[in-house]
Structure formats: C-alpha cells, structure tokens
C-alpha cells in the first residue's frame, strides 16, 4: 500500500505548481484528470499553463463537496496579456463556478510573472521559449531575437507602470503572486514593489532555477523583509541538475517556515503528483529533514497561502 501524503487535521498537502494541458507541450494531465487524482490521493493543487489562464477550466470542475483545494492560475506571458492588468483580469473573469454570478469566486488563485517569454529564460534555451527536451515538436517552439523577450528595467517608467497595474489587481483581490522565470534583479524589484503595494502572498518561483539563481542568503532576506516564500520544486532536481543538498541549504538558511515544497510536474515523462511528492518527502527524510518540517513546508505554509488571512 502506498504511503499516504501528510496532513494536519483537515489540512492537506497543496502542490502549488503543476502543469496541465492542452498546451503546445505534451502534458500528463488535463484539469479533469488532475482533479481526479487530487481527490483520490488527498492533495490540493494549483494548475498552471504557460499560454492561457486555467481559472476557467478549474472553476468549472470544482465541487461543493471537495475536500482538497483545486486552484487556478495565470502566467503573465505574452499570450496571456503580458505584465499588465489584462491577464490578471482575464483570469479573474474565468474564476467562477456559477457563470450566472455577478462576481468572481472569492477564493484565491496564483498569478505568475512571465515564464517562457522572459529574457532571462530565453538566454538559458538558446533564445527559444520551449525546450524540445520538455516534450514539444520543434515546429511549435518560438525563437525570440535578442531583446524581444520580457525584461523589467526599474528605470523604464512604462514597464514599471504596467507591472504596478498588474500588482494592483493582485493586491486588491488578495491573490498569490509567484515570480516566474525573472532574473535576480528583476525578482528583487518585483518582490519589493509588490510588498510596497500591499501584496501579502508572494512565492519565489523555484529560485535556484538557472534563469534566477538566487543565493540562499538572499532568499532568507526576502523572507525576513517581505514574507516571500522560497519554492523548492521536485522536478528541478532531475531536469536542472540541482541537488537535495542545495535544497537543504535553502531550508537551513530560510527556515522551514519560509519554504514551500512543490512538484512542478505535469511533463509527459514525469511521475504523477502523488508519486513525485511521496518520493520527494521520502528523500528529505533520508537526509535528516524532520517530519514536522516537511509538514510545515508542504501543508502548513501552502494552506496559509491559499486559505488563511494575512496581516
């Protein structure tokens, strides 16, 4: 019998980062099939797509009797309106179970800063938005000439104004901000600005990933100063040659209270969410990470981001 995922009372693991299709990339999951696994295995999940908001799909499969969180999202890539309020408003528009209702649902969803269209990301993949190693035909990738991807310059008043329009909608609706594939300086700018504008829920998206590569000491400071959680994603260990030792260094620097554990799976070749998380937690246990800390990083912190009031 497979080991059950941890929980605290009625609080379950929430995987804050799982990819679904349809998408140019081949994906393991649709919204429906991922929801089915989440209900069966007892975990919550945030469903992500690089090219379209998932809020419409996810809202229509949520049920009143669900005991697990099923959460939508939007990544502010060019196809979703870019870094401005357009994509956030689009995701809000789709976030309602009752299509006759006047307002979106009050539950939170995740807004990622750009991922595959960032200059920082494109520099890692020879100027292509999607790597064929991820399970995509070459004809569906896009080449971006130097300088045509998204970059955030704090001295560019127009780009800063557009970013603030997005952050304002996030703050007004108490949504969850994730930093995407921005570089180090861009990530710091977004986090600081978001905090100043009243965004209360911030995640540093897999900050050891090669487009960002934050130092553990920087992550610790961003947690201390701005309450930004550092996300450690299972899939980056294999796909990006990261190590558990690097992850443990982050946990020790930031403290488990400022870290979340996610899978970032959904690739056609990756394990299921449940299998990935069981393996992930088991490997941490073997390396001396306490069960209470695993629960804090996978259950307590994620439920706080999705459900709880924050001062």
Please determine, for residue 311, whether its predicted confidence score (pLDDT) is greater than 80: no
Share of the chain above pLDDT 90, in %: 96
User: Which two tokens mark 276?
Assistant: 């990935």
* Of residues 96, 134, 90, the one with CA closest to residue 111: 90
Please determine, for residue 1, whether its predicted confidence score (pLDDT) is greater than 60: no
Q: How far apart are the first and last CA of the chain?
A: 42
Asked if the bond preceding 257 is cis, omega within 30° of 0, the reply is no
Please determine, for residue 139, whether its predicted confidence score (pLDDT) is greater than 60: yes
- Give residue-wise pLDDT tens across range 168-205: 999 999 999 999 999 999 999 999 999 999 999 999 99
Instruction: Round to whole Å and give the CA distance between 142 and 223.
Output: 35
**259-262 vs 228-233, strand pairing mode:** parallel
Looking at residue 310, its pLDDT comes to: 86
Domain ranges for the chain: 13-307
- Give residue-wise pLDDT tens across range 230-270: 999 999 999 999 999 999 999 999 999 999 999 999 999 99
0.85 exceeded by pTM: yes
What's the whole-number mean pLDDT along residues 37-57?
Answer: 98
**In what helix (H) or strand (E) does residue 177 lie, and over which residues does it extend?**
strand 176-178
Instruction: Round to whole Å and give the CA distance between 239 and 241.
Output: 6
What's the whole-number mean pLDDT along residues 281-296?
Answer: 98
- Give residue-wise pLDDT tens across range 261-274: 999 999 999 999 99
The second-level CATH assignment, the architecture, of 13-307 is Alpha-Beta Barrel (3.20)
Instruction: Round to whole Å and give the CA distance between 11 and 17.
Output: 18
Please determine, for residue 34, whether its predicted confidence score (pLDDT) is greater than 90: yes
Q: Please, which pLDDT band fits residue 3 given cuts at 50, 70 and 90? A: confident
Share of the chain above pLDDT 70, in %: 99
Q: What is the mean pLDDT of the chain?
A: 97
Please determine, for residue 219, whether its predicted confidence score (pLDDT) is greater than 90: yes
What's the whole-number mean pLDDT along residues 70-98?
Answer: 98
* Of residues 135, 136, 117, the one with CA closest to residue 127: 117
- Give residue-wise pLDDT tens across range 76-85: 999 999 999 9
- Give residue-wise pLDDT tens across range 57-73: 999 999 999 999 999 99
Please determine, for residue 161, whether its predicted confidence score (pLDDT) is greater than 80: yes
> Please, what is the angle between helix 273-286 and helix 31-41, to 10°?
50
Spatial CB neighbours of 182, under 8 Å, sequence gap ≥ 6: 113, 114, 118, 120, 152, 190, 211, 212
């Amino acid at each position: 019998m497979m080991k059950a995922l941890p929980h605290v009372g009625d609080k379950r693991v929430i995987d804050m980062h799982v990819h679904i299709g349809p998408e140019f990339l081949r994906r393991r999951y649709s919204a429906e099939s991922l929801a089915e696994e989440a209900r069966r295995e007892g975990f919550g999940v945030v469903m992500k797509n690089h090219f379209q908001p998932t809020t419409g799909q996810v809202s229509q499969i949520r049920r009143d009797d669900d005991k697990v969180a099923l959460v939508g999202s939007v990544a502010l890539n060019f196809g979703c309106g870019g870094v401005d309020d357009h994509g956030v408003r689009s995701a809000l528009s789709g976030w309602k179970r009752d299509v006759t209702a006047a307002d979106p649902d009050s539950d939170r969803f995740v807004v990622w800063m750009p991922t595959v269209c960032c200059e920082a990301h494109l520099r890692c993949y020879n100027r292509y938005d999607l790597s064929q190693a991820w399970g995509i035909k070459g004809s569906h990738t896009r080449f971006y000439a130097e300088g045509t991807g998204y970059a955030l310059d704090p001295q560019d008043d127009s780009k800063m104004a557009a970013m603030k329009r997005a952050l304002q909608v996030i703050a007004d609706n108490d949504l969850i901000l994730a930093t995407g594939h921005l570089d180090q300086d861009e990530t710091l700018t977004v986090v600081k600005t978001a905090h100043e504008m009243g965004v209360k829920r911030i995640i540093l998206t897999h900050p050891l990933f090669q487009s960002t590569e934050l130092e553990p000491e920087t992550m610790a400071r961003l947690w201390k100063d701005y309450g930004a959680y550092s996300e450690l994603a299972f899939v980056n260990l294999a796909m990006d040659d990261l190590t558990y030792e690097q992850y443990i260094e982050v946990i020790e620097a930031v403290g488990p209270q400022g870290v979340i554990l996610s899978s970032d799976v959904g690739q056609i070749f990756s394990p299921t969410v449940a299998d990935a998380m069981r393996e992930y937690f088991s490997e941490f246990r073997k390396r001396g990470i306490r069960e209470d800390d695993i629960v804090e990083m996978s259950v307590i912190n994620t439920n706080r981001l999705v459900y709880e009031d924050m001062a």
